[in-house]
Amino acid sequence: MNINFKNSHAEKIFEIIDSVIKTSGVRLNNLGVVAVSTGPGSFTGLRIGMSAAKGIAFGASLPIVPVPTFEALAFQLSNHLNDGTEFIIANKVNLKEIYFAKFKVRTNNYIFTQDCRL
């Protein structure tokens, strides 16, 4: 499912979550935790996502695991890059701000080296 309507997060999030759950064939009672992004990102987007995660977790009696977005991406990338490779992950959060973080691959994992907001 792809939604391209501006500022429709709150209206579409549960429809999208429902679609993902149905498509995957996973049932909520088979989950062990609910993971939620802690950012960086737009305040409104993070707030909507965390509220949705909290509602799902409460309804399914599941714990919530906070996941820093850039670190989740860095972990995935570290499995595909050579040891010692430095890389940057960036995210445009609104018209005037970009968040980024610099990482370095270390033995199929990563180390965080710098973060910044422009």
Residue 1 lies in a domain: no
> Domain span at residue 57?
9-67
Give the domain-ending residue among 67, 89, 106: 67
Residue 45 lies in a domain: yes
Give the domain-ending residue among 67, 91, 109: 67
Nearest to 99 by CA among 78, 80, 117: 117
Residue-wise pLDDT for 28-67, tens only, equals: 888 999 999 998 887 888 999 999 999 999 999 999 999 9
Do residues 27 and 42 both lie within one domain?
yes
Do residues 59 and 91 both lie within one domain?
no
Does residue 66 have a cis peptide bond before it, meaning omega lies within 30 degrees of 0? no
Please tell me the predicted confidence (pLDDT) of residue 62.
96
Do residues 94 and 78 both lie within one domain?
yes
pTM: predicted TM-score of the whole model, two decimal places? 0.77
Do residues 48 and 75 both lie within one domain?
no
Do residues 63 and 21 both lie within one domain?
yes
